[in-house]
Amino acid sequence: MLDIKLFREDPQLIIENLKKKFQDEKIAIVHEIIELDNEYRQLKTDSDSLRAERNKKSKEIGAIIHKEGAEAAAEIKLAVTKLNDKLMEMEERERVLEVEIREKMLVIPQIIHNTVPIGKDDTENVEVERYGEPVVPDYPVPYHIDIMESLLGVDLDSARKTSGSGFYYLKGDIARLHSAILSYARDFMIDRGFEYYIPPYMIRSEVVTGVMSFTEMENMMYKIEGEDLYLIGTSEHSMIGKFINTFVDEDTLPQTLTSYSPCFRKEVGAHGIEERGVYRIHQFEKQEMIVICKPEDSMYWYDQLWQNTVDFFRSLEIPVRTLECCSGDLADLKVKSVDVEAWSPRQQKYFEVGSCSTLGDAQARRLNIKIRNKDGNYLAHTLNNTVVAPPRMLIAFLENLIQADGTVKIPEPLRPYMGGKEALVPKK
């Protein structure tokens, strides 16, 4: 959500930003916000004048009663009553306007960073850099489910019976590999100075609307029936929500946090949930990074966060690239975003395994997260990034590390979490 001062002082900046994001249909909403804000401010001025007049007349009542008696003050008492009634009407209108203005402001996107490439959708995202050689081996790389099944590590049929498409049972070495990757990711981030958290997996609606746009909310979140609770789509939601209505002391910044959680997503608008795959699913687990910092430090931490993910994947011998999200592909609260994509030797292309974003002060403004110092208070900046999200990461792992004989190599850093195993051997 933008500062109302921007609508008053530089609405053209907001309109140009909408055009860059190809959301011209929202330009009319900007004009509506300005009109409603003008009415609101005039109403505040008028009600302040009326309040002063009422207070003045109220003081006169006491003087008249003292000099002339209660009956002499009847007329002025009536006038004060009418002023009170009028003020109540005006104050109610102010409350209505406040709600209406806020609701409209919530759909206006954040001002994007001046380095964001302009484009309509994800087909116009821009490759930034590649890390590691994207190798295509001289032997066939099976589909990831076929690799898992050769290791007796997945059961999709049972999951469809219990839960439907988009769910899975992992078992044996694949289940252990899944947990090992998350444990390694946890320690990887702790070693980089991030504080480890396990957050709540459900959050209230005021937190949901504070951390994401309405479109994202409708497409992602599962609502708990009969309660003001939603299942989180990522631990960023509850981790940023942790700071709602909080003053963070400046000398405690930056706060660098890493959190584990299961994640739940409706995946509305997805191109079908795979019957035989774990790429797009309703339930998965993830290790996340979150940073709360001063505005002037947010771009520094943006670069640190995506680099952490690149370093993590490279430590496991998986080639990756960074892909800058264009203006039309940015969610409304994001200022700038880069995807980390892993190489798929089977498909001979990259696919998304993580996303790093700076949201500027968007979440802080919605959730009232402020930094406190000796000179006053100001809004924090928030950032988030995926460390790793298996089982999607398992696809990249299995495809890149499978050998010609069907065994899957375990890289050195992961072996302590796999009981010292150097490879997974097919069982069928």
Cβ contacts of residue 232 below 8 Å, gap of 6+? Answer: 199, 200, 201, 202, 203, 238, 261, 263, 264
Write down the pLDDT at residue 71.
63
Q: Are residues 236 and 262 in the same domain?
A: yes
Shared-domain flag, residues 79 and 177: no
- Look up residue 182 and give its DSSP letter: H
Q: Are 10 and 90 in the same domain? A: yes
In a domain, 111, yes or no: no
CA atoms of 29 and 116, how far apart (whole Å): 24
Statement to judge: residues 17 and 164 lie in one domain: no
In a domain, 117, yes or no: no
Q: What pLDDT digit, counting tens, does each position of 52-62 carry?
A: 887 777 777 76
Question: What's this model's pTM, rounded to 2 decimal places?
Answer: 0.89
CATH assignment at residue 217: 3.30.930.10
Choose between 86 and 199: higher pLDDT: 199
pLDDT band at 275 (very low <50, low <70, confident <90, very high): low
| Residue 374 and residue 401 in contact, taking contact as beta carbons nearer than 8 Å | no
- The reported pLDDT for the residue numbered 428 is 75
Residue 246 lies in a domain: yes
Scanning the structure block, which residue is given the tokens 């599962």?
222
Query: What is the DSSP annotation of 61-77?
Result: HHHHHHHH-TGGGHHHH
Please provide the distance, in angstroms rounded to a whole number, between the alpha carbons at the two ends of the chain.
Answer: 54
Whole-number mean pLDDT of the chain? 92
Helical ranges in 115-273 per DSSP H: 144-150, 156-162, 172-191, 205-211, 214-220, 235-241
Domain containing 28 equals: 4-105
Convert the pLDDT of each residue in 45-84 to its tens digit: 998 888 888 777 777 776 666 566 566 667 677 777 888 8
Give a yes or no: residue 207 inside a domain: yes
Kindly state whether residues 230 and 368 are assigned to the same domain: yes
pLDDT at 236 over 80: yes
Question: How many domains is the chain partitioned into structurally?
Answer: 2
